[in-house]
Structure 1
Amino acid sequence: MIALVSAPTNLGLRPPEPGAVPGAAKAPEALREAGLFRWFTERLAIDAGVVLPGRYVDDDATRSPGVVRNEGAMVDHARRLADRVEAVLATGAAPLVIGGDCSVLLGAGLAMKRRGGVGLVHVDGHTDFRHPGNSDGCASVAGEDLAAAVGLHWPAVSDIDGAGPYFEPARTAHVGCRDDDAELAEVRTVVGAVVPTSEWRGRGTAAVVDALRTTAGAAGYWLQVDVDVLDPSVMPAVDSPDPGGCTPEELIELLRGLAPRAVGASVTVYDPDLDPNGTYARLLTEILTVSLGDLGSELR
């Protein structure tokens, strides 16, 4: 069984302009309107409710050094999301978290660590590996979530309740970044597997799925999917669209291969403010319903 959890947070994103609020918090309801929740619940999934975030604040002018945007509210949301994910897992269901931005990985990771730890497959158009050791510009966890998840960020976000790292680097795999990703060389030295989109195409999806599953481990893994892995020609409704991404068909094939062994999954960074007609919400609904219907089936 799958349990859908809404996590409408935008706390990890930079403001689209000074004083403005990112639109990613609207994603779960936009996808509900597009039919995502109805499709799953008609197939016996359950709606496990919503974990609301605190208020987004553009705190650039007042934030202290060594603190990320909306840090207190983000950590609070991560704890409450972890509680919800644990409650879902206790029923035997596989949680499908609909974000929101990539900071939901903190809550998912905290839940996984509380339960003894699993691997991580990180599907993203960027490595999201900015951290204090390689950048003076750390602020937005949505671009730093993988680094935080494997323990390389400030402890406030990478070691919540002393639980870091949430995922062991050797059991962490990334797929989908572009060849010019600023942190690509570094992340290759830290995590178990890194497959840029160009290499994914060269090796073929079946071989890449096998490699990712092997790295993340036979006991299961968390599956984090940032929809900016798609090329902006088909998915422009994200905060950082970069050319060179995958097609919907490629993403469907990848997720179909990964979903059955996933303990749970999170889907992030779709921005309804950039999709006023709902065109891309409908595309995402099509992709996710086709590819994630077997979430967790190999672990039941």
Structure 2
Amino acid sequence: MTIGLLSAPTNLGLRPPAPTSVPGCAKAPEAFREAGLYRRFAELGAREHGVVLPGRYADDATPGALRNQAAIVEHARRLAGRIDLLRDEGLAPLVIGGDCSILVGAGLALRRAPGRYGLIHLDGHTDFRHPGNSDRCASLAGEDLAAAVGRHWPAIADLDGLGPYFRPEDSVHAGCRDDDDALDEVTDSLGAVVPASRIRRQGVEQAAREILEVADRADLDGYWLHLDVDILDPTVMPAVDSPDPGGLDAAELTGLLAALAPRAIGAQVTVFDPDLDPDGAYARLLTDVLVAGLAALGDDRRSAGSVVP
């Protein structure tokens, strides 16, 4: 299947890194372009389909609402529309973010499409903060998985009355650290959870098999693949909003993506921060990982219900 590249350079879901400043991940698509990612995917046959620009960032969180909530909702609806168009053309969308808030737009697109879809959430954190377990809800990039499975405020988790965008039992998280605050709750809520320590211990092939047993079931019509690059260890990838030790190395992530991408209907890449990569070395490393890991995105959609051999 041909990949449709779409840029979504939003930073709306993140807290400001310092007073009066804004998060740098909105610069990620152009940093990846400079590193050759768009060119290399084009050489593999991918088509570029423009950009969905976000509204202006504002540190405006108030009790009972997210920071930039109105702008996030507006961006999610426009992003969903663009994902719809790519899928209507028979393309596998590859959305280059931006922060993890773009998961709401992807979920909205799939929820209003015919069929039932799963989610594979590859992330160094569970991103499961929500009003039921925290009084600090404010930044959707740390709450995106909770919103995607219907655990957040309806204003973000039930857009157009379509929540949850993914059923919890159809969703898998992989990559969090063993000390993640929400690990127990996520394990009790989702179809499967595979922490980074288990991926490293049992190997990528077995981890992919466990993930696909949930997300690639025969009763589903496909799954969306979310990647937050902070799944990588900070010794490998420090250019992220919240680096935590205990992550994967580049080869492990490449192998995991390569095992999961062929069966996915689309994917997104989030939270790389070029402000923390002044010489572009980390953008080039990620470009190598993403091109090798996602080159076959959507190529084997026939195989719903199968697992890695």
* TM-score with structure 2 setting the length: 0.95
User: Letter of the aligned partner of 2:56 in structure 1?
Assistant: R
Is the 8 Å Cα contact of residues 209 and 254 (structure 1) preserved in structure 2? yes
Is the 8 Å Cα contact of residues 88 and 94 (structure 1) preserved in structure 2? yes
Q: Secondary structure at the match of 2:67?
A: coil
Is the 8 Å Cα contact of residues 123 and 174 (structure 2) preserved in structure 1? yes
Decide which of 231, 234, 246 is 1:232's aligned counterpart: 234
Q: Post-superposition shift, 1:117?
A: 3.0
Decide which of 244, 247, 270 is 2:246's aligned counterpart: 244
Q: Secondary structure at the match of 2:110?
A: helix
Q: Which runs of 5+ in 2 are unaligned?
A: 303-309
Counterparts in 2 of 1:160-239, with a 5 A limit? Answer: 160-218=159-217, 219-239=221-241
Q: Secondary structure at the match of 2:265?
A: strand
Q: Secondary structure at the match of 1:250?
A: helix
Q: Post-superposition shift, 1:207?
A: 1.2
Residue 116 of structure 2 is matched in structure 1 by: 117
Is the 8 Å Cα contact of residues 117 and 166 (structure 1) preserved in structure 2? no
User: Letter of the aligned partner of 2:110 in structure 1?
Assistant: M
CA distance in 1, matches of 2:59, 2:91: 37
The CA deviation string for residues 135-162 of structure 1, in whole angstroms up to 9 with x for no partner, is 0000000000000000000011111111
CA distance in 1, matches of 2:258, 2:266: 13
CA distance in 1, matches of 2:206, 2:236: 25
Q: Would you say how many aligned residue pairs link Structure 1 and Structure 2? A: 297
Residue 265 of structure 1 is matched in structure 2 by: 267
The CA deviation string for residues 98-122 of structure 1, in whole angstroms up to 9 with x for no partner, is 0000000000000010113310000
Alignment partner of 1:156 is 2:155: yes
Alignment partner of 1:103 is 2:105: no
Q: Post-superposition shift, 1:18?
A: 1.3
The CA deviation string for residues 17-69 of structure 1, in whole angstroms up to 9 with x for no partner, is 1111100000000001100000011221100110000000111xxx4311000
CA distance in 1, matches of 2:112, 2:137: 27
Residue 68 of structure 2 is matched in structure 1 by: 70
Is the 8 Å Cα contact of residues 206 and 257 (structure 1) preserved in structure 2? yes
CA distance in 1, matches of 2:197, 2:62: 39
Is the 8 Å Cα contact of residues 20 and 58 (structure 1) preserved in structure 2? no
Is the 8 Å Cα contact of residues 126 and 176 (structure 1) preserved in structure 2? yes
Is the 8 Å Cα contact of residues 18 and 58 (structure 1) preserved in structure 2? no
Q: Secondary structure at the match of 1:297?
A: coil
User: Letter of the aligned partner of 2:27 in structure 1?
Assistant: K
User: Letter of the aligned partner of 1:233 in structure 2?
Assistant: T
Counterparts in 2 of 1:28-67, with a 5 A limit? Answer: 28-59=29-60, 63-67=61-65
CA distance in 2, matches of 1:70, 1:108: 18
Q: Post-superposition shift, 1:291?
A: 0.6
CA distance in 1, matches of 2:119, 2:94: 15
Between the aligned residues of both structures, percent identity stands at: 63
User: Hey, which bits of structure 1, 4+ residues long, moved more than 2 A?
Assistant: none
